[in-house]
Structure 1
Amino acid sequence: MLLVYIINILLLFVLGWLLYKQNWAQNLKPYLLPALALKLVCGVLLGVLYFHYYGAGDTITYFNASQKLTQLAHENTGAYWRLLLFNEFPSESFKESVPFTRFAYFSNSFFLLKIISLFNLLTGSSYYLIGCYFSLFSFWGMAKLAAILAQGFPDTRKAAIVALLFFPSVAFWSSGLLKDAVLMGSMCWVMAFVLQLAHGKKPTIVTWLLLPLQLYLFVKIKIFFAALLLGLLACYLILGWLSRTIKPLQTIKGQLLALVGFIVVAGAIVWQINGIFSLAFITEQLVKTYNGMLALSLSGPHLSYSSLEPTIASIVANAPKALFSAIYRPIIGESSEPLYLLLGLENLLLFLLTTIALMSAFSKSWVQHIKLWHVVLLLFIVVSAIVIGISTPNFGTLSRYRIIFLPFLVYLLLQNRFAQRWLAWLH
């Protein structure tokens, strides 16, 4: 087992060194290595939190369940690979013994079990080594996005670094053996790719080859958020290309009008379709998820709605509360638990940053610096926050789920003259 640890630590070191030597990584120095160290430490601390404080949780469930798949790999290699590639279970009893297999083709949790089982074979089923690999993957995507933002929007370099690599809950919950690490790594990598294309940078051949894998991981882990973000990114990319030849689209007003047109068309299409992307299905799933989690959250502080129905009207009526809660709750004083106190302090910081940003918004110079990219991020933040706030009453889970939009919110909140002066002190 000692040899397995040595080999994997060396492999992690090599992967980290390769990442450090990437051309885009030069934009993050001298912050790259401290951020990477923080990410790996957070991955370990996440395991400590769940194993030694909570005693249960998603990460433990995923790891323990993956052992059944790994055992199958040792006992019947052919059956294991058929399960991995085609979801063919060796027996009905085996299927029943593994969680998340009821809808195996669609379950992102079962998909994660298969990934973890592969890493079990590599690491000798070492939870913390696997957590380090997941943390490194997450860091790869998030660091690359921070670097590409620094290239495309040089004035926001430090804001991108703080928001994506050092903001406390973002760094913590996007690390370790969780779906969120895979989600953030793949999502941010795809965003970085689109920004490169939109700003006239030519991705390398290796980048093009990696694109299908990153897209697959992003869509597989969070299909609804992937559909939302990929749609917005497609609009940004198309408008960027069109603005090179169509003069009215070279102004922010023209770009915003075109974006509104894209959204209206997309909304009309969604209104007409049936299936998993229909509005009726989406609203039904939001309320169903909320009710299921609410039953498990009543013993502690939680988010509740007086009347929540699976209708567009009800979702819209509750949207302001969901938006506010997803960003600023729990508030200090809602619970005396240490984790909630820490979350309350972070949310207080977010509230202060929001207040400062709104004060700065009265400046005409701030308005003149608005770019289409900022609007795209804002739309993603608002819709994501409403969806997560509606469906997630548990504050602990809410703090984890919201990292899909939180770094972009922090990034935008740091785009004002007051925050820029503070960031200028960082070296």
Structure 2
Amino acid sequence: MDIYLRYFIVLIIVVLLTRWLTRKAEWGFSWSQLLIAMAAKVLMGSLYGFVFLRFYGGDDTWFINGDSMNELEKLLTRPAHFFEDVDIFRLVSENGWAGGLAVFQMKMEQALIIKPLAFVNLISGGNYYINVVAFSGISFWGHFWLYQACLAAWPQLKQWLFMLIFLYPPTLFWLSGIRSDAWLFFFFGLLIYIYGKWLARGQAGYLVLTILALAGISFIRAPLVAVIIPSLVAWWLVVKKQKPQVKAFLGVHMIAMVMFFLSGLLPSPLNLPEMVAEKQASFFALEGKTRVSLQKMEPSPASFIKMLPQAADNAFLQPRPWNTSGALQLLMVVQNLVLLGLFLTLIARRYPGRALLAPYPMSALLAYTALLTCLFIGYTIPFPGALVRYRAIPEICLLIWLSLAAAGDKISHYKLINVYKNRGF
């Protein structure tokens, strides 16, 4: 009985605190939306833990939860040393600048998860399912900020965006477990929301938060920063310099591509093509039950061009329905079919959502970030099981863009979602 009491105490604290923080949301966020969104997060987070414990022996999510108990012990017995593992000055002095910063990045990714959970463990005693509730109070915000940013552009699609961002089962599943992906979405959603605010209002506080969001992303998945910065620059050019959106985004990304390959003339760690090739090699060295056959990359433009069809196939069409292994890979097949169906609809209907998307450079950012991130994943990760988790954030961006682009003004809560209105009520 004690464990259930602790569970409901943490749940009530998380819900009430989240409600208090969202009560004055610019685009509104009702009690019913909060309860639905939080229930979905907690249920999927619990399912995530159960699936990986029952069928995969715990995986990293249970090991991370166990590490948080070690942090609790440190908090109680050696509180002055609680942050010693993320002391950047000590790490740099011991490992040099390059090595120290690399270790600091790794330690920060771990610390973002296990140190907050150390405090929760005072109540939960390390129970995974109670900690999932508390962790949902953090991971919820990535969804919320992305939702608010999208509503600023398309307030008429409130219900559709809520369903996509908060309730789409595959991405919700991968972003609800006790993993760093939830923190990555936290910082990604904050970046999209705050950067738009800074461009609109120019307040220094928004710029500071933008930098903090980029720093948070770099702790967890540094390549995503490199992928998203060109889109941020293009967004700035459209808003501040009144440049045409298509020219701004295409021009900036072409320049970024040239700079990427020119960096191949520089020594490591400034050699970006070499870094991508090394990332692929690090994944090749891992063991996995299901592996996609990928060509070994070389840090040259010719290698990237030659591998492009294979990377796209790996990112969007693997695994094939006939060679899936387990329920999670079968779910990935369904995800791929959804994306493919939206893409084919977009082509068949000749891009009816152009007028809906064109006025908002944020939509171009979502599309470019999703495509480039998926391609990077396709180049480097040969394991469908890992790929689907890494693809969760770009996939939700791609779903938003593709659904609006393919459906146009038909995707409205007045015409499509509100069934009572359709029936004449």
TM range (shorter): 0.7 to 0.9
CA distance in structure 2 between the aligned counterparts of 1:27 and 1:202, rounded to whole angstroms: 25
CA distance in structure 1 between the aligned counterparts of 2:36 and 2:283, rounded to whole angstroms: 38
Q: In 1, are the aligned partners of 2:71 and 2:114 still within 8 Å (CA)?
A: no
Counterpart residue identity of residue 425, structure 1: L
CA distance in structure 2 between the aligned counterparts of 1:347 and 1:417, rounded to whole angstroms: 16
Partner of 2:105: helix, strand, or coil?
A: coil
Change over 3 Å in CA distance of 1:40–1:229 after alignment to 2: same
Q: In 2, are the aligned partners of 1:219 and 1:227 still within 8 Å (CA)?
A: no
Equivalence for 2:57: 55
Change over 3 Å in CA distance of 1:62–1:166 after alignment to 2: same
CA offsets, 1:68-93, max 9 Å, x none? 3332333322233333445869xx9x
Query: TM-score with structure 2 length normalisation?
Result: 0.82
CA distance in structure 2 between the aligned counterparts of 1:422 and 1:235, rounded to whole angstroms: 27
Q: CA deviation at 1:277?
A: 4.4
CA distance in structure 2 between the aligned counterparts of 1:123 and 1:291, rounded to whole angstroms: 36
Equivalence for 1:242: 241
Determine which of 268, 271, 290 is the counterpart of 1:278: 271
Change over 3 Å in CA distance of 1:322–1:48 after alignment to 2: same
Report the number of matched residues. 400
Q: In 2, are the aligned partners of 1:138 and 1:181 still within 8 Å (CA)?
A: yes
Determine which of 413, 416, 419 is the counterpart of 1:425: 416
Structure 1 range deviating more: 227-236 or 148-157: 148-157
Equivalence for 2:97: none
Change over 3 Å in CA distance of 1:107–1:5 after alignment to 2: same
CA distance in structure 1 between the aligned counterparts of 2:90 and 2:223, rounded to whole angstroms: 26
Equivalence for 1:290: 283
Q: In 2, are the aligned partners of 1:159 and 1:414 still within 8 Å (CA)?
A: no
Partner of 2:198: helix, strand, or coil?
A: helix
Q: In 1, are the aligned partners of 2:160 and 2:411 still within 8 Å (CA)?
A: no
Q: CA deviation at 1:369?
A: 5.1
Q: CA deviation at 1:32?
A: 4.3
Partner of 1:222: helix, strand, or coil?
A: helix
Q: In 2, are the aligned partners of 1:173 and 1:400 still within 8 Å (CA)?
A: yes
Q: CA deviation at 1:414?
A: 0.7
Change over 3 Å in CA distance of 1:74–1:153 after alignment to 2: same
CA distance in structure 2 between the aligned counterparts of 1:376 and 1:382, rounded to whole angstroms: 10
CA offsets, 1:108-164, max 9 Å, x none? 5x6324641342233333322332233232221222221221122335544433332
Partner of 2:417: helix, strand, or coil?
A: coil
Q: CA deviation at 1:387?
A: 0.8
Determine which of 23, 26, 41 is the counterpart of 2:25: 23
Counterpart residue identity of residue 285, structure 2: G
Q: CA deviation at 1:413?
A: 1.2
Q: CA deviation at 1:213?
A: 4.3
Give the CA RMSD over aligned residues: 3.2
Structure 2 counterparts to residues 17-416 of structure 1, below 5 A = 17-24=19-26, 26=28, 31-86=33-88, 104-107=103-106, 111-113=109-111, 115-124=113-122, 125-198=126-199, 200=200, 211=210, 213-243=212-242, 249=243, 254-270=244-260, 271-272=262-263, 274-293=267-286, 296-297=287-288, 299-300=289-290, 302-335=291-324, 337-361=326-350, 366=354, 370-371=358-359, 372-416=361-405
Partner of 1:425: helix, strand, or coil?
A: helix
Q: CA deviation at 1:257?
A: 2.3
CA distance in structure 1 between the aligned counterparts of 2:298 and 2:343, rounded to whole angstroms: 30
Taking only the aligned residue pairs, the percentage that are identical comes to 20
CA offsets, 1:292-343, max 9 Å, x none? 23xx12x33x321245434332222112222232123223222252222222
Q: CA deviation at 1:209?
A: 6.9
Listed as ranges, the gaps of 5+ residues in structure 1 are 93-100, 244-248
CA distance in structure 2 between the aligned counterparts of 1:309 and 1:151, rounded to whole angstroms: 43
CA offsets, 1:8-64, max 9 Å, x none? 333212222124413235167864432222112111111111122211312122222
Q: In 2, are the aligned partners of 1:144 and 1:188 still within 8 Å (CA)?
A: yes
Partner of 2:410: helix, strand, or coil?
A: helix
Query: TM-score with structure 1 length normalisation?
Result: 0.82
Change over 3 Å in CA distance of 1:268–1:417 after alignment to 2: closer
CA offsets, 1:233-278, max 9 Å, x none? 13202321111xxxxx3xxxx3322333333443444424544342
Change over 3 Å in CA distance of 1:87–1:38 after alignment to 2: farther
Note if 1:13 corresponds to 2:15: yes
